[in-house]
Structure 1
């Protein structure tokens, strides 16, 4: 059994650690900063399931750190977003040192990397960090078959939607699932309840989706400040024969809600396919989160804060 937890010294006093009775046998849960914690600028937390399941979950939250955290080899697994939180309505991209705010999983150099960053603007040829808190959470599946990646970028117009981008065909075996893997956001994005980014399967055609398949799309526009454009990324995985995929939605305009999104016995894992709503608060705890269970074959839950919503997909 392996558990990884890497945190800065300033966070240790406020970490709440949870472990289950299965520490003796199967699953352990790492440390996670409790709500309202006064954690330092950078924190990376690893959750780990043992090799029997192969599922891992990671959290990274920063304001100014542009570096990614290495979650392991792409040959061993495929990682996708399972949580996004913080302030995503700021960021720039046109000048040399501009930076978008970012919550992302990236496959690079044979490794899976997790990024969370609050954005910056160009100042004297160097990035001036915006000090926005951004959290990214990832689930890593022990599956690597036919991994397909796709990206979408908003139109440079602040009033015109960009067309959806087809990133994968339908799977006749119904074993393909696509997940969000990246959100790059800019000034004025994710500041309205109607804004979203998603990857979605279309089994019929229409004007926006001329052929069937998986499409990456968003209700997001360029910034009226400087025409910086939000970007989305998605990752598709073909799961093994016998896998069962379920999907659903959790959202709220009122109080925070937590819902159980899996059922039955057996090992499961989940990721996000849609993130929407207002991400305007300076708060790492204000977002959309999918959390793993305390027991190996327990149930996954999804917590959504006010003014937000998310679609999920789980694989068993």
Structure 2
């Protein structure tokens, strides 16, 4: 590892100022992703600004009935919070599915949003990777890509975003709050992650030097009946090969409102807007659920070795929506 300096921030404005003073510095929360990347040489910060002790560790109700989650709230505390469990159960399920207890105890909400892809070529400095070294090429396009993107990718990068938590947040229209030298700002999660295009190294729309301070979940009564389902290649903790966050409001057998997001299929958590449009106002039955999944996956462009994901995601979406509809009917 490259030698690096370390400094603990005392407050939010001080943390932002410290990073602005050193362009090679990085914020450090739980470090569960950043430190791993430092060990492999992918990340080489000259200084770490520790933000773990900043007063951003609360989950609070907003004036309109939503929830605001501080950036340094640990994944364990987030999953255990009674209001998160009651109002947004899919978020609790996503966090619990994401990692072991030891990692959840360290990992923070802000860091989870900023974690980097687990593509093997990204972490292998001997291989070309446009996300790590812009313009060098994408080794996965013609190499090992069975767990890579089928939606929203480009010839420049086919890696997927690894977050489970982010998929549930995407379904519930989360808004990311941040602080810069110029003051606070907000970004809807739908705009937070940038499309791959020809600049896969530019992953988020956060201003340079910005510190994530929290995530706001707007009030969403439909989210109280929600579910997160993850498929992985082994029973123990592993990154998803496909996942679904879904919420459903059904009245008299008709879908009044639906929320749907896919994970492990794109470079960012994938909000399934086309599927939601098919679901809304339609009968809450298997035919509708299959048609909704097909509408979303019509845009899929699988590579030779990951076409299975299209079938997997179709079946997974139908299964989760069916379970939610059956629960509503009880």
Q: TM-score if structure 2 supplies the norm length? A: 0.30
More strand per residue: 1
Which is greater in Rg?
2
Normalized per residue, the structure richer in helix is 2
